[in-house]
Amino acid sequence: MKILITLDGTQFAEAALAPACRLMDGRGTEVHLLQVIEDSRPLVSSTRSWEPPGRDPIIFRSNFGDMESAPTYRVQDPELNRQVDERLDQEAQEYLGGVCAKLNSDNVITKVIRSDKVEDAIKDYATEQGFDFIFMATHARTGLPGLFIGRVASDLLRNLDIPLVLVRPRDK
């Protein structure tokens, strides 16, 4: 069996790990941890001297608990952008490595993909690899707002023939 778990570097997304691990039955289940780094982030002109106090001058990511509202600011400087890209890739690999260590399995593969559209990257990778299940966390709401799920989850549900397990993180 092959399982894909999509992660974005947040504890919220890691809620998909526990249910996926319950499906890993010790019979050689292959697990892929995927983090997609979205390239289409707003740019800050290099003519501005903008640097958040106390932050790394190469990259500043505001984190409001929702990756849709957490842009990565990049300057219009090819060398600096290359450094930012390398740093983001390295951070994603380190993050996935840490998650991998928690899974206590020898059959875990980590993958970082850079893409303009997260949902397209997940669809392409899932189709290419032939997964049996995909696990991901989503913002599930109760009542009328509960009719809606996130953009990525909604797109995957509509356009993918692989069973998708959407996990709603529990409130603490």
pLDDT digits (tens, 9 = 90+) for 44-78: 434 444 454 454 554 444 443 444 444 455 556 67
Q: Is residue 172 part of a domain?
A: no
Give me the CATH number covering residue 16. Answer: 3.40.50.620
Q: Is residue 54 part of a domain?
A: no
Q: Is residue 84 part of a domain?
A: yes
pLDDT digits (tens, 9 = 90+) for 35-44: 999 875 444 4
- The beta-strand segments (E) located in 80-169 are 108-115, 133-137, 164-167
pLDDT digits (tens, 9 = 90+) for 77-110: 677 778 888 888 999 999 999 999 888 778 899 9
Residues 6+ apart with CB under 8 A from 49: none
Percent of the chain whose predicted confidence (pLDDT) is above 90: 35
pLDDT at 94: 94
Q: Is residue 50 part of a domain?
A: no
Residues 6+ apart with CB under 8 A from 21: 103
Q: Is residue 103 part of a domain?
A: yes
Q: Is residue 45 part of a domain?
A: no
- What total number of domains does the chain contain? 1
pTM (predicted TM-score)? 0.75
Q: Is residue 122 part of a domain?
A: yes
**Strand-pair category, 108-115 with 30-38:** parallel
For 35, the domain range is 2-39+78-167
Q: Is residue 58 part of a domain?
A: no
